[in-house]
Amino acid sequence: MTTPISRRDKIFIRDMAFHANHGAFEHEKDYPQPFLVDFEGEMFLAPSAESDDAGDTVRYDLVAGTIREVVEGERYNLIETLAEEIAERVLETYAGIETVHVRVRKPHASVPALVGEVGVEIFRRREK
């Protein structure tokens, strides 16, 4: 008798670094600053693991390219909006990804304290 296996698979890309002009303050609109993005996407990886064929999975380079297009494309006042746009674009583009976890960090945010970085983290699930 075969034991059923519960699966929770994910792909991830961490510490993607970009320069962009997101921010609510005037100086943030004029001068690019660094943004760091972490991405995780849950999907069923067994077919690609069994076939050993890149065509049966979501390619990391394509996901990273999609994220780059969002971060370096349109300008947003809030990193909350940026994170939401990343999540929406990935879910729209890659049908195999069921959930996304996006973290956007802003190391040089304008805050009145000495901080390493600030950021937002969102989790989104594909509508069934």
Kindly state whether residue 39 falls inside one of the protein's structural domains. Answer: yes
Kindly state whether residue 4 falls inside one of the protein's structural domains. Answer: no
- Could you read off the pLDDT of 60-102 as tens digits, one per residue? 999 999 999 999 999 999 999 999 999 999 999 999 999 999 9
Domain count, the chain: 1
Whether 29 sits among the annotated catalytic residues: the reply is: no
CATH code, domain with 86:
3.30.1130.10
Token pair of 91, please? 């879910």
- Could you read off the pLDDT of 38-66 as tens digits, one per residue? 999 999 988 888 899 888 889 999 999 99
Residue 32: domain span: 10-125
Q: What are the angstrom distances between the C-alpha of 29 and each of 19, 20, 21, 33, 36?
A: 12, 9, 5, 10, 18
Q: What is the pTM of this model?
A: 0.90
